[in-house]
Amino acid sequence: MINKGQGAPLMPVVDKWLFKNESKDIITLNIGGISNITIINKNKNILGFDTGPGMSLLDIYCLKYLNLSYDNNGSISSKGKINKTIVQEWIEENNFILSKPPKSTGKELYGEKWLNSHFKSPKRNDHKNNLANLSYFTAKSIALNIQKFHKGKSKKQTPVYISGGGIKNKSITLNLKKLLLNYNVLSIANIGINPLFKESYAFALLAASNYFNIKINTKNITGADKPYIIGEISKWR
C-alpha cells in the first residue's frame, strides 16, 4: 500500500512463478474467506484480483444460525433451492464484483455486517435455501469475473485450477462447473499441488523473495506503481 497498491491479493505473485513455463492460458482460483483469481495468458501477461465473497458469508451464517463452524462439504447448501433473482440483486447492490481490477476486499464488505443486513432471523426451514443462495453468490461472482476479464479465445482448453478451503464445498464447485461450461474447472491437485496448502507454499515463496531482496512487480495485481520487496521479516527476540 506504500507503493499505491491495494495490498492484496498476493497469491497471483506465486502463480506467476508456478506457471512460468506454460505455453497456454491458465486461470487459478483460490477460495478462502474471500475469493481471488489469477489470469495468466500464453504471452505470460498476468492479472490478479479479488472477485468477492468466498467462504466468509457461508461460515458466518452457519455459526450464527446453525451453531456449526461451516457447511461440511456443502451438504446443507446442496439441498437448498437457489433464488437467482436474489443473488443477482446481491451482485448488483454495490460496485465491487463487476468493477475493474485492481481490486481487493475482505470481511469489511462481505462479513457479519453484510449478513445481518440481508438475513433477519431466518426460519429453520429457510436455512438450506439461504445457504444455497450464498454458495451460488460466491460461484456466480467468481464466474462473472472470469468471463469478463479473461480475453482468451480457446476457453474450452483453459483450465481453472481451484485451491483453498472452498474446494471442499461441493455446492460451490458444482455451481462453478455449471457457470463455466466453456472452461475446464478442476482441482489444482491435478498438477500435484495440495489445494489446502497452496497458500502456505505462497507465503513461503514470498518470504524467500524478501530474504533474498527480490523486487516483485505487482502492477497488474495490486496496482502498485513500482516493483518492490514484499513484506518484512521480523526477527525472533
Domain boundaries, the chain: 11-211
Rounded-to-integer distance, Cα 159 and Cα 161, Å:
6
Residue 221 has pLDDT above 90, yes or no: no
Query: Taking residues 114-136, what's their average pLDDT?
Result: 96
Query: Tell me: the pLDDT tens digits for 160-201?
Result: 999 999 999 999 999 999 999 999 999 999 999 999 988 777
The candidate with the shortest Cα–Cα distance to 152, out of 24, 28, 17, is 24
Backbone angles phi, psi at 38, to 5 degrees: -125, 130
Which residues on neighbouring strands pair with residue 31, listed in sequence order? 35
CATH 3.30.420.40 correct for 11-211: yes
Residue 148 has pLDDT above 80, yes or no: yes
97: which 3 cell numbers?
Answer: 464484483
Long-range CB pairs of 60-69, under 8 A, 24+ apart, other chains included:
60/111, 60/112, 60/115, 61/115, 61/119, 61/130, 61/131, 61/134, 62/131, 64/112, 64/115, 65/119, 65/122, 65/127, 66/127
Cell 455446492: give the residue.
Answer: 171
> Dihedral sign, CA of 201, 74, 138, 23?
positive
Report the share of the chain in percent with pLDDT over 90. Answer: 65
Q: Quick check: 161 and 26 in contact, CB under 8 A?
A: yes
For residue 228, the model assigns a pLDDT of 57
